[in-house]
Chains A and B, each alone.
Chain A
Amino acid sequence: MVGAKPVDTSMDCHYALIVKKDCATCRLIEPVARVLSQRFEDGLSIYVQDDPAFPAELANRIDDRELEFSFQHEIEVVPTLIRFKADRELERIYGWDKRQWQTFLDMPELGNGLPDFKPGCGSKTREPGMEELLAVRFGRAVNSARTVVIEDDEDIMEACYERGWTDGLPVVPPTPLRVTRMLTATDRPADQLLGRIPPDYAPCSVEKAAINAVMAGCKPEYFPLLLTTIEAALQEPFCMHGLLCTTYFSSPLVIVNGPIAKQIGMNSGINALGQGNRANATIGRSLQLVIQNVGGGRPGGIDRATLGTPGKYSFCFAEDESDLDWPSLAMDRGYQRADSVVSLFAGAGVQPVMDQQSRTPESLTRSLAASLRTVSHAKVFMQTDALLVLSPEHRRVYREAGWQKADVRDSLYEALRCSGDQLIRGADGIAEGIPAQFKDRLVDKFREDGLHITTAGGTAGLFSAIIPGWVASGEKGSQLVSRRMSAP
């Protein structure tokens, strides 16, 4: 901008005027452009962002529809007038302020007859999504991943399949532009290391996460949550390595608490554990793709699951936090309601519980316990964790009786406690069971931190869900882990 210093309008200066025809201010100052063109001749270049025939009949127009000049010079508003000396920018003005232009150019008569003031319009470089497009077009994008060139006669979707990048479903092709847009959602550098992804323990950069997020179908606004999710999965107590390798069903389930869930439109209501919500579907899928593509964990390779579970495509939902007096899963883990927190659990599918008759908490607890007892096996205790997803209607049974969440948990432990002689191997004519040494003891179904309770689902339906954990739960296997989101 013009300061108090003397104006340098010497003839060895060069000027660049950046305009677009679509801008009413640019059209307004067309006569000014003509005057400047006559005065400066070759000392003025007029860069036009949209119509190379504008301003009419001027020789020093330059077609900038590719926006290279506008991008390289970080033009925000049109018209902009820049003064250069020896190819170095001295100063610039933008919009139309008659007095300012007259002073800037030391031309007191300039624009007489025009209004005193008219603000400019946004430069085409500032249109939504344009910045990343131009960064890719002019080599300013920060991609450092290996590039794979797909020829014209090759189908891009098929090319992704053939390279083994998918989970069996189609992926969004990870073009540099899409990845650059994903990366704009975080302040973290693209080459920052998130950690090493098992089973190969391969380094995973923010950029690799972004590539896989693109493929999974994430919007950029989900990306900070995904980064936190990946970091949570790499926490030692989660045991991602063993979880990936196991013959059992389990796989990472992502549970989201706090304001971020609503901000990005996650589903905690009707069909929360099902399909249809983009954030739920793609965040869970991204994590799986990172483990597959970066970590090298592929079914039949290091992933030895006997049967697997549909949740290995994607398993992610948000908790229903509409009841502010009922602590969320994240609050059970020591976080606050205002924290955005992601929790990971080694989930092995969904086991439904129907109880349409219980109107007292005592009855409902016994009912839920009867189903919880069958997690992994009705005679196997203290081995497998579980996540109980209470539906709003089942939660209401407890709320109306004045029960707190801790009461529910304690009563479930009590209802599940069982005499060891019913559970030991061979008891009830079933070879499976707990070791004989527990014969004379009362045994808990779950270890002390092995039963987690959350709420989700539609407001109609006296159904809850049990998400059984991994048979290797606890310190020697996987434990539920949580991580709070920091700044994007």
Chain B
Amino acid sequence: MTTTLLDPTSELQPAIRQLNERLPSLAGATVGLLDISKPRGREFLDEVELQLTRLGASVRRYTKPTFTRVAPTELSQQISVECDAIIEGLAD
């Protein structure tokens, strides 16, 4: 006799998303930098901005209200409209 159990998980099947096509060059591209509001994040991103600018990218800076919560939908939408690429530091 077999035993039947009920699945305690969400039973979610993660969607498989295709990667965006890689940018041919950073020259002329707009790259977003998202500061997640962790201490000293700004200094770190200043350096990243400098490096990107040297490669010819123009950089836009964004800030999440708090690192403890996911970014507001409006912010994600704004970034997707204004940028060709985004760099987000997820955590420390």
Contact = CB atoms under 8 A, between A and B. Distances in A.
**Chain A bound to chain B:** yes
B1 A152 contact: yes
B3 A156 contact: yes
Given A143-B6, A211-B6, A245-B91, A200 B1 contact: no
Contacts of A304: 91
A314 interface: no
B69 interface: yes
B16 interface: no
A203 B10 contact: yes
* Main DSSP-derived SS at the B contact region: loop
B32 to A, nearest CB: 22
Interface stretch (B41-49, B50-58, B60-68, B73-81): B60-68
Contacts of B25: none
Contacts of A152: 1-2
A200 B3 CA distance: 29
Interface stretch (A118-126, A169-177, A252-260): A169-177
Interface stretch (A64-72, A358-366, A470-478): A470-478
A203 B9 CA distance: 10
Contacts of A203: 10
B68 A242 contact: yes
B5 interface: yes
A149 B8 contact: no
Interface in B4-20: 4-12
Contacts of B4: 147-150, 175-176
B10 A146 contact: no
B70 interface: yes
Given A146-B11, A203-B10, A296-B10, A175 B68 contact: no
Contact of A247 (B10, B69, B92): B92
Contacts of B10: 197, 200, 202-204, 208, 293-296
Contacts of A215: 8
Interface in A421-479: 472, 476-478
A465 B88 CA distance: 40
Contacts of B67: 242, 472
Contacts of B6: 143, 145-148, 174-176, 179, 207, 211
B3 A150 contact: yes
Which of A211, A243, A289, A295 has the most CB atoms of chain B within a 10 A radius of its CB? A211
Contacts of A175: 3-6
B68 A294 contact: no
Interface of B: 1-12, 37, 65-70, 91-92
7 contacts: A147-B5, A203-B10, A207-B6, A208-B8, A211-B7, A241-B68, A477-B68
Interface of A: 143, 145-152, 156, 159-160, 165, 173-176, 179, 197, 200, 202-204, 207-208, 211-212, 215, 239, 241-243, 245-247, 289, 293-296, 304, 472, 476-478
Given A165-B9, A241-B69, 20 more contacts: A145-B6, A146-B6, A147-B6, A147-B7, A148-B4, A148-B5, A150-B2, A151-B2, A152-B1, A174-B5, A175-B3, A203-B10, A208-B8, A208-B10, A239-B68, A242-B68, A242-B69, A293-B8, A295-B10, A472-B66
